[in-house]
Structure 1
Amino acid sequence: MDSITKRKLEFDRIIAYASSFCISDMGRDELAGTLPFYDHTKLEEELKRVLELRLFLEEGNPLPFSALPDTRALLRELDTADTYFEPRELLDIHDLLRASVQLRKCMFQNRTVYPSLNDLTIQLWLEKSLQYEIMRVVDEQAQVRDTASDGLFTLRRELNESRETLRKKMTRLLKRCQERGWLMEDTVAMKNGRLVLGLKVEYKYKLPGFIQDYSHTGQTVFIEPAETLELSNRIQDLEINERREVERILRETTGRIREERKNVQHNQTLMAVFDSLYGRAQVALDTGSVLPEVGKGKTLRILDGFHPWLVVSHRRKKEKVFPLDMELSGNEQVLVISGPNAGGKSVAMKTAGLLCCMLAHGFLVPCSESSVFPLFEKMFIEIGDEQSIENDLSTFSSHLEQIRLILDAATEKSLVLIDELCSGTDVEEGSAIARSVIEELLAKDAKVIVTTHLGELKAYAHGRDGVVNGAMEFDRSSLSPSFRFVKGLPGNSFAFAMMQRMGFSQEVVDRAESYLDKGRTGLDTMLDDLRISLEHNVQLKDSLEREKEDLASEKARLGKKVEELESREREMKIKTRREMVHEIEQAKKAIRDILRDVRKQPVEAVVSAARNKLENRKKAALSEEKKLAAEFEHSLRPDLSIRKGDTVRVLTTNTTGEVVSLQGEEAIVQCGTFRLSTALKNLEKISKTKAKKLERALPPVSASPLESTKLDLRGLQGDEAVGEVERFVDKLRLNRVQQATIVHGKGTGALRQRVTQCLKQHPAVKSFRLGDWSEGGVGVTIIEL
């Protein structure tokens, strides 16, 4: 995409806007050099990073670094072998590395929330020894530390001592000269790098020393006292040695950076990339931009789209921005937009182009997340007055020249935008040229959006496959554009309405309308009627969609009620059975207690009575269970007494209504404003004054746990073993186990006979048999429930 196209789309302003948020010149230059993505996978990775960084900022998180120095020129200087960095430059390298470490650490700690950003920053070089080395040598004020080397420490100590001795001597000499009246200035001065005293010229030979300078008036002579000469020379020598030691230290530290140059440059590049992402994320925050779908087909669907600059400028002015809804399906190649002047045709076209351009360059876009954008490899735009005086081209000639260049370069992966196609010449000739241009672009399979006022071009778009009309609406009541795009119909120019709004007299307007062809007037009226009809159909469609959603919601609710009733049925059965089992268990416990008491007594009558009592209670419990189950099933049978006109309660929805018709065991019930079909068993006849409330669901009851499907009776005596068998069978039944094994051993066969007798009398046992040789033979019995 060339710079002219970017300028016409105002993408260069988007880049400049994003650059204003960048922290460093490196990030700004990275943004300026951004190229469009042509690979879907790479583009989606870039967009995910921008989205994650936008979310990071939305949550109020600050960046983990506040400054990012531009180190590119410094690293280029390392190409020269004897180059060394000054302390300030060393600090810049240090700050770059520190920012890299802080960023990598921050994103790694939040890697589950921002995985794409972590994938980028995890590549940053994390070695800290170079940072420590720089800070060992240079302090925060960009001064070489005294402790940078032992030699420097010694030199600076001697320097400080010598300077203090010199200061004391100069102070003593100054005081002596003051007492004798020789001084012109009562301070110690510095001339040619040496400490001097300013004496009156007539006393210049009173103080032994060396003349360093005279004042401009010649009245003051600056003398370096002879007795400080040797000390001053000593200090100068120490200063030279200090500079040499500092330079040596700086060269050595720069050498360390030179050794790690590739790693430092790697971090420099990644930090510039991150800074460019930061600029784009800030633009996304400021314009409410999101990540739409990047389609692999040719469908362009913009929902609730906004031009970014309109969002920013209108927010500042507190003005309303109108969203753009525009769609071109895969087989719709050309969109012809018509409508009133200043009605938003060009803005709609440019908005579509700019959003496509932004997305291709890794920007989020202000639209709905449901929008779909194809990935264009080339984009062309012809808009505005590009008249060339230098090349002696008129406006129309320049327009044609730009179109020729577009036709030569356009491909099936191109987006072409042309404003007021061929409008600068004779209407009939312009329409013919416009049709020919569109046909050529259709042949190249390019995606095209054009704006026009040409009536013949609108008619052509209506009848040509692959070409579709679109209009910008105009509000006749207010004589102003509504800025809403409507697909499927051409738009009117509404020139006469514009005249009225701009204050022309009605006489002039009426005269202009009288000159217009009557058929054209009728066509405009028909288009208005069609547009109103289309808008009514759209509203009707929206209403039907809402009703459809309401019905789906009601269907889901009813389904949930049915599930609740079925669950309630199961819970009632389980509860009934649990209560009976509980009673049986209590009875068994009582019998076991009796058996334990009388086991040592030869009282067979007591044992027999206890067993008979147990059997009777068990049979009664089972009979009660069957009775309750039958009653419950009966309650779910259809109520055949229900007739047309009866007031009923729908059990599955707990709503009341009137039966309007009967169809076998089904009924149609009028419930308020809607009807539903349901089974008669789901209905209950009620009075017309009061409806019963739905029964609450019973709490779930857990089944007794079953440790194993094998019961080992070996070592137990007859009655005790029988009790264990009965309890074991009950647990099997409650846990819905169909088959199990009872181990009684071979022995004399007495225990086996007691088990057989018990199983024959137990109503829950369907059949039983001795085990085969692989199951344990005659020592086990296999039962089926």
Structure 2
Amino acid sequence: MIFPENFEQKIGFDEIRTLLKGRCMSTLGTEWVDSQLKFLSRYEDVREALEQVRDFIRFSEEEDDVYEENFFDVRQALMRIRPERTHMEELELFDLKRSLKSVSDLVDFFRKKGDDEIPEYPALTQMASNVETFPQIVKRIDEVLNKYGKVKDTASPELLQTRHSIEVTTRGISHSLRTLISEAQNEGYIDRDVAPTLRDGRLVIPVAPALKRKIKGIIHDESATGKTVFIEPSVVVDANNRIRELKSQEKREVIRILQELTNNIRPCAPAMLQSLHFLAHIDFLRALASFSKTFESVIPEVRKYPYMDWVQAIHPLLQQSLQRHGSKQVPLDIALKGKQHILLISGPNAGGKSVCLKTVGLLQYMLQCGMPVPMRENSVMGIFHDIFISIGDEQDLENELSTYSSHLLGMKAMMKNAGPHSLLLIDEFGGGTEPQIGGAMAEAILNRFVENGTYGVITTHYQNLKHFADSTESVVNGAMLYDRAQMQPLFLLRIGHPGSSFAIEIARKIGLPEDVIAYAADLVGKDYVMSDKYLQDIARDKMYWETKRQKVHTQEKQLQASLANYEKELQNFNQERKQVMAKAKEEAQDLLKQSNAKIESTIRAIKEAQAEKEKTREVRQQLDEYKNTLRQDMEEEDRIARKIEKIKRRQQRKSEKKGSALQQLVSTLSKNASDQPRPVSTHVKVRVGDYVRLKGQTTVGHVEVISGKQARVLFGMMHTNVPLSRLEVTVKPESNNISKVSTFVSKQTRDAVYEKKLNFKSEIDLRGMRGDEALDVVSHFIDDAILLEQSQVRILHGTGTGALRMLIRQYLHTVPGVKTFHDEHVQFGGAGITIVEF
């Protein structure tokens, strides 16, 4: 059940129908769009329709020349021939033949592809399973009609003979007329460029009125100007009469042939109508595939129960309109899953709330009509049994109902009929009456929807509904984001926190007098006005930590991949080492055998030489040389073994270092994400009594007290509390060095620094300043931030021409204490604000 009756018009589905019908090739497809494209509430029906579209899109992309796109609507002709002695005309038969041929080609193809154990196009194969084809009828029509849709001469012997007689007689008439025209031209009765023409089916000669009596014959007609008369010469009157008789005879024979062919078709007419129904479905699927390609629509995962997890969803009609003007729609991410059933969207006027609502309604309706939807493929959609909508001005003048009364009637119907499988779409919930009672009534109705377990997307401006969503598990706040710096909506939906109406900012942008704006702000109070800013600050902080968490997750994956790579390399190295050692042992065994053989050979040579000293000396010298060679080889092998062992130890250290770095990084970033101080680095072990220095600095101090993560350090004459993570242990400096780095700081100076730290503001506004003036202010501001150990500051310089922004960033490049700087998020100022981190 869809509520109200004009639901399709409200969400724009009637325009979708029009676009689809414009892509159909015949009235078969357009009537299918009107009659068969409807809301389906059963999961099985939706899935079947989507599978048919999926298969046809794949079929149209992968298969060529399977069939000719002949979609002709000949249903009226088939119904007209039910009585006997009626017949179909040549063009009707020609269209029927082409349509039946398309049906036959498609059915034969899908049945062939379905013969396999796993059909290639299962949904289309199922569609074609019960469709009857008529190859004999197609063949018979081909025997009767030529390729232009006219009855062939060979359709019957009588027709062939009649047309032959007509041709022969026509040639005789033409010859007689040419002879007569030639003689008349020689006599000067008619012009040289005159040729026979046809009037009322008879060949005649055009002649000037003054010379019409020069040619004997019958005057059949004259021109509109009266300057030419058309004469049928008496010599061809009988032949023309014969032509007319033959033409009548030909027509009678053609009708007889068509009647005979129609008699063959008449018994099959009901089955042919069913085949044309299949062809209409194919025409619709072809149009839908083209529509889906144009709007980049996909078929997401569909679940049997109500569910929404949409990624990058767009409204196709809005996207088409924006493309014509060179713009592009901002996609929406929408989620209603788990215990969250109702999304309460707030935000500025003209910020996209109603567009978001209509996008939900249109895309959900499209899906449950069996249509692909424009969103990412990793989206998940559910099935709703009912969709209720309350959008726009519901004032009923006929029944004398106000806007609010009509709104309440709609809410009454929703509370009565909506259940756990219903989807509610309500725009400006509770509007149209006095805000206080309207908000209370809206909260009561919303509470009833929660009790009924209904799903819904609701837009509102009421603060009490936002608080209700925060305190109710099944309702979640959503905000349409707004760029405060540029004073324009971003059309981005952020789920998880409420939005602001930005009434003050929008009024200021429009140009209302400042005193009027100030008066209004005083009426509602400073706290109420600032609540919008606080909401945005919370949203900004949440976005920052979400980004930080994602960065931690990415870096963790990268480190794990690196660690796995090192482990794999170490494993390969160990395997290669084993192979090298095995080979070295084999070579050592061979070397030992060679050595023994050499020694034995030497002893034998000495014995054989007996007392020959020269020979003995020569043999001994050879043995010594062999020993030296052997020693060098062993030293080389030892060196290689030591090198291998060294490489192994280095690989192990790298692996251990990467593992500890991974644990340290994850621990550090995780604590940052939960607003906890950074832990002390594992390689820094600071104890009471150690001499330390700030990382990157040379001044040496003495640790007197350690309290938690802080250390009280004496630098010269000044005590300073410093985080342990910023300290590194160093050696005790010599006395002369201490005198060089020690500095006397008075109590008044330390108190002044402490006071300055308490009053320091981490944001500065430079708008309206000249370049040199702004640069001077920024330099002092950055120096103070470094001195007071700030982690981050914001510099508000505006966008303008960009010169001031460029000048400030050129200066920041030269400051050693600045780690990085970047634009603020677009929601909170974008390029108009520079974030500096130390």
Aligned to 1:256: 264
* 1: CA distance, partners of 2:666 / 2:34: 64
Aligned to 2:13: 11
Residue 62 to residue 280, structure 1, CA distance change in 2 (3 Å):
farther
Asked if 1 retains the 8 angstrom alpha-carbon contact of 2:209 and 2:229, the reply is: yes
Aligned to 2:23: 21
* 2: CA distance, partners of 1:43 / 1:268: 23
Q: 1:321 aligns with which of 320, 323, 329?
A: 329
Residue 315 to residue 565, structure 1, CA distance change in 2 (3 Å):
farther
| 2:160 is aligned with 1:153 | yes
Asked if 2 retains the 8 angstrom alpha-carbon contact of 1:298 and 1:330, the reply is: no
Query: Deviations 1:431-464 (Å, cap 9, x if unpaired)?
Result: 1221232233334332111100111222222223
Gaps of 5+ in 2: 589-640, 668-838
Aligned to 1:490: 498
* 2: CA distance, partners of 1:514 / 1:31: 58
Asked if 2 retains the 8 angstrom alpha-carbon contact of 1:340 and 1:493, the reply is: yes
| 2:403 is aligned with 1:400 | no
| 2:442 is aligned with 1:434 | yes
* 2: CA distance, partners of 1:472 / 1:214: 78
| 2:78 is aligned with 1:75 | yes
Q: 2:150 aligns with which of 143, 164, 186?
A: 143
Q: 1:19: Cα distance to partner?
A: 2.7
Residue 205 to residue 530, structure 1, CA distance change in 2 (3 Å):
closer
* 1: CA distance, partners of 2:535 / 2:546: 16
- Pairs within 5 Å for 1:383-422: 383-422=391-430
- Pairs within 5 Å for 1:763-778: none
Q: 1:255: Cα distance to partner?
A: 2.7
* 2: CA distance, partners of 1:219 / 1:270: 59
Q: 1:417: Cα distance to partner?
A: 0.3
Aligned to 1:115: 121
* 2: CA distance, partners of 1:319 / 1:219: 64
Asked if 2 retains the 8 angstrom alpha-carbon contact of 1:335 and 1:468, the reply is: yes
Asked if 1 retains the 8 angstrom alpha-carbon contact of 2:343 and 2:476, the reply is: yes
Q: 1:318: Cα distance to partner?
A: 3.1
Q: 1:41 aligns with which of 35, 39, 44?
A: 44
- Pairs within 5 Å for 1:595-674: 648-650=649-651, 655=654
Residue 113 to residue 561, structure 1, CA distance change in 2 (3 Å):
farther
| 2:345 is aligned with 1:343 | no
Aligned to 1:724: none
Residue 129 to residue 423, structure 1, CA distance change in 2 (3 Å):
same
* SS of corresponding position for 1:415: strand
Residue 75 to residue 331, structure 1, CA distance change in 2 (3 Å):
farther
* 1: CA distance, partners of 2:656 / 2:451: 63
Aligned to 1:730: none
* SS of corresponding position for 1:648: helix
Q: 1:142: Cα distance to partner?
A: 2.4
* 2: CA distance, partners of 1:191 / 1:218: 16
Aligned to 1:456: 464
Between 1:6-15 and 1:97-106, the stretch displaced more is 97-106
Residue 576 to residue 118, structure 1, CA distance change in 2 (3 Å):
farther
Aligned to 1:272: 280
- Pairs within 5 Å for 1:428-577: 428-554=436-562, 556-557=564-565, 560=568, 564=572
Q: 1:425: Cα distance to partner?
A: 0.4
* SS of corresponding position for 1:336: strand
Q: 1:419: Cα distance to partner?
A: 0.3
Aligned to 2:805: none
* 2: CA distance, partners of 1:579 / 1:262: 93
Q: 1:191: Cα distance to partner?
A: 5.8
- Pairs within 5 Å for 1:70-219: 70-104=73-107, 115-116=121-122, 118-119=124-125, 122-123=128-129, 125=132, 127-171=134-178, 193-194=201-202
* 2: CA distance, partners of 1:294 / 1:4: 26
Asked if 2 retains the 8 angstrom alpha-carbon contact of 1:648 and 1:656, the reply is: no
Query: Deviations 1:411-431 (Å, cap 9, x if unpaired)?
Result: 332211010012110012211
Asked if 2 retains the 8 angstrom alpha-carbon contact of 1:657 and 1:671, the reply is: no
* 1: CA distance, partners of 2:222 / 2:346: 87
Asked if 2 retains the 8 angstrom alpha-carbon contact of 1:36 and 1:360, the reply is: yes
* 1: CA distance, partners of 2:438 / 2:89: 68
Between 1:342-351 and 1:133-142, the stretch displaced more is 133-142
* SS of corresponding position for 1:335: strand
Asked if 1 retains the 8 angstrom alpha-carbon contact of 2:480 and 2:494, the reply is: yes
Q: Tell me which amino acid in the other structure corresponds to 2:8.
A: K
* SS of corresponding position for 1:260: helix
Asked if 2 retains the 8 angstrom alpha-carbon contact of 1:469 and 1:487, the reply is: yes
Query: Deviations 1:169-199 (Å, cap 9, x if unpaired)?
Result: 4555666778889999977666655556789
Aligned to 2:670: none
* 2: CA distance, partners of 1:419 / 1:207: 87
Asked if 2 retains the 8 angstrom alpha-carbon contact of 1:411 and 1:445, the reply is: yes
Asked if 2 retains the 8 angstrom alpha-carbon contact of 1:647 and 1:658, the reply is: no
Aligned residues: 611
Aligned to 2:620: none
Query: Deviations 1:149-169 (Å, cap 9, x if unpaired)?
Result: 111111111121222233444
Q: 1:671: Cα distance to partner?
A: 8.8
Q: Tell me which amino acid in the other structure corresponds to 1:649.
A: R
Aligned to 1:630: none
Q: 2:389 aligns with which of 363, 381, 399?
A: 381
Aligned to 2:804: none
Residue 568 to residue 138, structure 1, CA distance change in 2 (3 Å):
same
* 2: CA distance, partners of 1:491 / 1:675: 33
Residue 216 to residue 656, structure 1, CA distance change in 2 (3 Å):
closer
Query: Deviations 1:594-632 (Å, cap 9, x if unpaired)?
Result: xxxxxxxxxxxxxxxxxxxxxxxxxxxxxxxxxxxxxxx
Q: 1:73: Cα distance to partner?
A: 2.3
Between 1:229-238 and 1:479-488, the stretch displaced more is 229-238
Asked if 2 retains the 8 angstrom alpha-carbon contact of 1:184 and 1:220, the reply is: no
Asked if 2 retains the 8 angstrom alpha-carbon contact of 1:304 and 1:325, the reply is: yes
Q: 2:377 aligns with which of 369, 375, 396?
A: 369
Give me the TM-score of the superposition, normalised by structure 1: 0.67
Residue 262 to residue 210, structure 1, CA distance change in 2 (3 Å):
same
* 1: CA distance, partners of 2:452 / 2:342: 12
Aligned-pair Cα RMSD in Å: 4.5
Asked if 2 retains the 8 angstrom alpha-carbon contact of 1:301 and 1:329, the reply is: yes
Residue 81 to residue 315, structure 1, CA distance change in 2 (3 Å):
same
* SS of corresponding position for 1:276: helix
* SS of corresponding position for 1:270: helix
Q: 1:553: Cα distance to partner?
A: 3.4
Bigger fraction of residues in helix: 2
Gaps of 5+ in 1: 581-634, 660-667, 677-785
Query: Deviations 1:679-707 (Å, cap 9, x if unpaired)?
Result: xxxxxxxxxxxxxxxxxxxxxxxxxxxxx
Aligned to 1:718: none
